[in-house]
Amino acid sequence: MQLLSKELKAVLVMADISELWATVIRDKCMSVDDFRYRLARKRDSNGRTYGSSEPVMLSFSVRLNSADQAEPFYRHLTNDEYGTLSFIFNATFSDTKRLVGFDDAIAVEGYIVDVQEHFHSAALSGGEEQIILRARMLVRSIIYLAENDNKTLCFIHE
């Protein structure tokens, strides 16, 4: 896939891209401002892991064009079952706005534990309103999707 920019562009979709990537529509994707997570395991003096993994928290922020786009995040926040979000890097879409390819992606299973909105309105000056939504997710597992190989990391065992 040809890289069109030196910047890594990411979008978020509220679906499991590892199973349904061909059904992703551009209008359902949200522009990612930033995301970060940290993975840690306890190791003994010989380098062997022991005990359970440290909890993994994923923090991210996305740009929303309307308050309606925030509703799935609040639904996940109040749900007792885990959900899946997918971050897609350098996504390409067809003329019909369907996802046709991407460089890499991660599908993250987990529980949203915090949501904050920062509302910016340019309505008075004739511009569009925009919401920066910041969220934190307790990660259950991450599936790394690459062109030739997929890897799954599980953090919570049932």
pLDDT tens track for 22-46: 688 898 899 999 989 887 778 888 8
Q: What is the pTM of this model?
A: 0.80
Q: Which are the contacts of 70, defined by CB distance < 8 A and separation ≥ 6?
A: 64, 115, 117, 131, 133
How far apart are alpha carbons 132 and 23 in whole angstroms?
A: 26
For residue 52, the 8-state DSSP code is P
Mean predicted confidence (pLDDT) in 62-86? 90
Q: Which pair of tokens denotes residue 79?
A: 């749900």
